[in-house]
Structure 1
Amino acid sequence: MTVALAATAALSQLHADARVVDRPQLPLVIGAIPYWDRSAALTSMRTYARYIDVASPWSYSVSADGTPTVAEGTSPDADSELGTHSGDSSIRTIPTITNTTDGRWDRETIAKVLLDPALRRAHVEALTGLVEEYGFDGVQIDYENLSAADRDSFSTFVRELGDALHRIDRVLYVAVHAKPNDTGYGPHNEAQDYAAIAAGADRVIVMAYDRHWATSTAGPIAPYDWVEEVIRYAVTRIPREKLVLGVGLYGYDWVGSAATPLTWAEVMSVAEVHRSPMHWDETSLSTHFTYVVDGITHEVWFENARSVEAKSALARRHGLASIALWRLGGEDPSIWRLGP
């Protein structure tokens, strides 16, 4: 059915939402802060700090010797003060470490680090040193697009890093690809042994989005039935008290099988410019619309407060520990009004 969503009215909700004082009955909320849109993310964090339990700056990658590198324009010193600058010192800071090089997923570099016991040990020591030096509450590992051949070394790394962090009273979070069974959709899924990862980590974040992605055909980013299928498998391998549902807050604008990622505000702007009526899909519980430019049809699917509420309800219904928002700064501001 068609949903009456006026872009101007929705955008005006931002200031009204900032006045909401009651904390919604959601699980623990983890908010990602991407280095390439840090200003917008920090603005969102400051505005809605009372709803956020953990800030996770997405600013760190791994060099060939296992030491962490920091994205340009960010610094551990600045990250260590996130909670204070948000006005809520109770917000914990758990930076995310990724296997990216020049903005692209880099399987080769991290695979060598994980496979070599000496490099792996140096990597663990470097990460625990980062945590101790800057007073972080732990780290979150997000190593993506690994191969099935990396499965054992990745599990070993998680166990060793978890042990090292626990010795200094810190925590380990690990982000994993979503899958409905162990083999999932390819080598990147086979690389991640949910049960072994859960044994070493304090939280396991299942990134339940990108069912349709930037180079796929158009469709819902996180269809409800698929997300539930992913959760039903995950709880057979990961204790519910450790399991975190990763929730996307963005959209894609497809032309054929090539898509441009959009923030919620960008989606609203596109819809307003092209006067596109929006439609709610009752199966996927997602919103979508189409528009035409120069005879070329665009198809947009995106996440908004209504679809996020459905996923949050799933997390509560399955007794999960938390939700992790990807990402702050690009969300529909109405998500912060969600109730029990």
Structure 2
Amino acid sequence: MKRILSAVLTVTAGLGLVSAPLAGTALAAPGAGAPRAITVDAWVYPGPRGSATCSAPAEYGDGRVRTGALKAEYYTIDRRGTAVLLPASDPDYACNGYSPANAADVRAHSAHQYVTVSLADLDSERALTSSPQKRAAAITALVDFARSIGFGGIDIDFENYWAWTRDDRANFFTFLTELSAQTHRSGLSTQVEGPPDLTTGFNYGTALAAGVDQVVLMAYDLEYQTPNQAPPCLPFAPLDWVRELVGGALEQIPADRRSRLVVGLPSEAYTAPGDCHRIKGNLAMEDLRRAPGFSTDPQVVADRRDPGSGEVRWSSGGTFYNYVDQVALDAKLAVVRELGVSTVSVWALGGGNAWFSKAASGSDAGAPPVSRPGSDTSASPTASAGSPATKGEFPEESASASASDAASPLPPEVEVPGIIGDAASGRRDAQSLAATGGGVSPGVGILIGAVVILLGTAALVGWRMAQHRQNGARRKG
């Protein structure tokens, strides 16, 4: 019931129906006591010259990932189920695509390195995982490549969980089992990305049982589940939502393997031009610095900060803007630490995206706060009268804004619940119930109303999660 109530509060707050920040999500500057160092990994993705990702080498060159892993996307799976190299000699991958020099640079600035493998859609995944021959060929190619360039492992980033059939699920875990067996024989390790959703066929404990060394919970992209069309849209990762996701993923994992959970955190931006169902994601801070109304003024940033997520949000000219700065990233890291997680992975390097403060990460590799818009700790909000009262209130452009192991048998298949109801009618019914009590006590009426919101919102979750999958395909291949 506690988890249900928290989920209810998260959704209702996102709809502007809760008039105060969620309990336990107040933001504060990192504590005076030095936290134990946390292992920080980061993804590096390829792109054409002139794109935001081109600055990733300069960013990791400051040593911020020297004790963690860099995960360079050097391979994709095509529609035939074949592993295809993404070379820097191809203009589409000129920045951060594979070249001997790029691989050497990644090795020089990290303790561990993974070859990230992505794909564009479910057809590509099916072509690979449904064929024993294609699986064997791809696994051999990937393992041989990683060894040849001196990398320590393979990172699997397929994001089709929401569209899986039972066969898709079984084939995916068979692929992971076979890949992990070969990586281990070759002295390599395996990571796999999992969804920010505990109701799909993906199971974090199942992935580890298949032999994977670490499983990564991508705790971001809630914005694609915004039920209402009109802004404000949901943040990337509300703090209570992250807490519930991580707690749920840990429950899926046997206690002696929970240290193998890695939590992915967002350092990025998005815009929504008039409609939360038309979000343009995977933007970098350098993109938003050119946006109307963008400001580095500490008071403006503080006024725009969402207390439930720490993220900075505003509207201007009919477009809604949202980004994660250092304060927000530190707040998400604090939540993960509370739950005992010791490794995080950041999406993504490039474009001047925020990095953890030294105080928060327990490392001297943190990026200087001065280079991160809105990250001045003097502007760090607390749950006070100076913070926005609701998650649904964001100022318009301000006049003062400056321009500027061997695999064990797999557990039984997870049943995926169906989608119920209509979001718009669900919200109307919930508001009515909350107002009248539905013939029951006001407290129960409000709870029932909030649950109806969840049922109505579920009508949109499936296709919004498909947006997350498509988004991943755009950003990683």
Same fold, TM-score > 0.5, yes or no: yes
Structure 1 unaligned residues grouped into runs of 5+? 1-22, 100-104, 184-188
2:105 corresponds to which residue? 82
Q: Does 1:148 align with 2:164?
A: yes
Which secondary structure does the structure 2 equivalent of 1:335 belong to?
coil
Structure 1 residues 152 and 270: CA distance shift in structure 2, 3 A: same
User: 2:268, 2:323 within 8 Å by CA — same for their partners in 1?
Assistant: yes
Q: Does 1:220 align with 2:235?
A: yes
Cα deviation, residue 65, structure 1: 4.7
User: 1:31, 1:52 within 8 Å by CA — same for their partners in 2?
Assistant: no
Deviations 1:56-97 (A, max 9, x none): 11231013253332153322523430245x5x4x53221210
Cα deviation, residue 202, structure 1: 0.9
Structure 1 residues 194 and 220: CA distance shift in structure 2, 3 A: same
For the residues of structure 2 that align with 1:310 and 1:298, how far apart are their CA atoms? 26
Fraction of identical pairs, as percent: 22
Cα deviation, residue 134, structure 1: 1.7
For residue 129 of structure 1, what is the amino acid of its counterpart?
D
Cα deviation, residue 35, structure 1: 0.2
For residue 115 of structure 2, what is the amino acid of its counterpart?
P
For the residues of structure 1 that align with 2:102 and 2:189, how far apart are their CA atoms? 17
For the residues of structure 1 that align with 2:293 and 2:351, how far apart are their CA atoms? 17
Structure 2 unaligned residues grouped into runs of 5+? 1-33, 363-477
Which secondary structure does the structure 2 equivalent of 1:228 belong to?
helix
Instruction: Give the TM-score normalised by structure 1.
Output: 0.79
Q: Which of 22, 29, 35 is the aligned partner of 2:40? A: 29
Which secondary structure does the structure 1 equivalent of 2:259 belong to?
coil
Which secondary structure does the structure 2 equivalent of 1:205 belong to?
strand
1:247 corresponds to which residue? 265
Q: Which of 73, 82, 86 is the aligned partner of 1:70? A: 86
For the residues of structure 2 that align with 1:172 and 1:240, how far apart are their CA atoms? 16
For the residues of structure 2 that align with 1:316 and 1:333, how far apart are their CA atoms? 19
Matches within 5 A, 1:170-319: 170-179=188-197, 181=198, 183=199, 189-190=200-201, 192-199=202-209, 200-213=211-224, 217=229, 218-238=233-253, 239-255=257-273, 256=275, 257-261=277-281, 262-270=283-291, 272=293, 277-278=300-301, 279-292=304-317, 297-319=318-340
User: 2:83, 2:138 within 8 Å by CA — same for their partners in 1?
Assistant: yes
Q: Which of 99, 121, 144 is the aligned partner of 1:106? A: 121
Instruction: Give the TM-score normalised by structure 2.
Output: 0.58
For the residues of structure 2 that align with 1:212 and 1:159, how far apart are their CA atoms? 33
For the residues of structure 2 that align with 1:66 and 1:33, how far apart are their CA atoms? 22
Q: CA RMSD in A?
A: 2.5
For residue 212 of structure 1, what is the amino acid of its counterpart?
E
Q: Quick check: 280-289 or 163-172, which moved more?
A: 280-289
Structure 1 residues 58 and 31: CA distance shift in structure 2, 3 A: same
Which secondary structure does the structure 1 equivalent of 2:221 belong to?
coil
User: 1:83, 1:91 within 8 Å by CA — same for their partners in 2?
Assistant: no
Deviations 1:135-175 (A, max 9, x none): 21111000112432211111111111111101111110101
Q: Quick check: 220-229 or 69-78, which moved more?
A: 69-78
For residue 350 of structure 2, what is the amino acid of its counterpart?
G
Q: Quick check: 254-263 or 129-138, which moved more?
A: 254-263
2:113 corresponds to which residue? 93
Cα deviation, residue 24, structure 1: 7.6
2:133 corresponds to which residue? 118
For the residues of structure 2 that align with 1:299 and 1:32, how far apart are their CA atoms? 26
For the residues of structure 1 that align with 2:328 and 2:279, how far apart are their CA atoms? 20
**Aligned pairs, number:** 298
For the residues of structure 1 that align with 2:223 and 2:294, how far apart are their CA atoms? 25
Cα deviation, residue 26, structure 1: 4.0
Q: Which protein shows a greater Rg? A: 2
User: 1:219, 1:301 within 8 Å by CA — same for their partners in 2?
Assistant: no
1:54 corresponds to which residue? 69
